[in-house]
Amino acid sequence: MKARSWLLWAAIVLLSVLPLCLTSTPPGADLFGGSDDRARQAIGTIAPHYRPWFAPVFEPASSEIASLLFALQAAIGAGVIGYWLGLSVARERARKHDASERDRRAD
């Protein structure tokens, strides 16, 4: 990979890790909960009488199960991307190999 790609990766990692170090606990809120939950709390203060009128049809039995399913979702995505990358690298290599074979025969 080129130097610039490494730089981009480093920036992505920094952007994800720095918030963990820089953020201090806001009063009365759990640190690094989902922003969805914060929104629910905000709805609670704006419209205290609002009651959700529909419940999720299926809820993961625990946060462990939820993280399992999120990991599964990520794995499916990463699997397809990995397949494409592997195939692409192999294809490029084969193309280069063919080209050098042709050159050799032409000599």
Partner 1 sequence: MHIMEGFLPPAHALGWAAVSVPFLAWGLRSMGHSLQAHPERRMLLGVAAAFAFLLSALKLPSVTGSCSHPTGVGLGALLFGPAAMVPVGFVVLLFQALLLAHGGLTTLGANVFSMAIVGPFVSYGVFRAAATLGAHRSLAVFLAACLGDLATYVTTSAQLALAFPDAVGGFETSFLKFAGIFALTQVPIAISEGLLTVLVVNAMARFNAHELRALPVMALRPREGA
Q: Which residues bind partner 1 (CB under 8 A)?
A: 2, 4-5, 8-9, 11-12, 15-16, 18-20, 22-26, 29, 31-40, 42-43, 46-47, 50, 52-60, 66, 69-71, 73-74, 76-81, 84-85, 88-89, 91-92
As measured in angstroms, the least distance from the Cβ of 29 to partner 1 is 7
Which CB sits closer to partner 1, 66 or 99?
66
As measured in angstroms, the least distance from the Cβ of 100 to partner 1 is 19
Q: In this structure, what token pair is assigned to residue 59? A: 């809820």
First to last CA, the chain: 32
- DSSP secondary structure letter of residue 51: -
Q: How many residues does the chain have?
A: 107
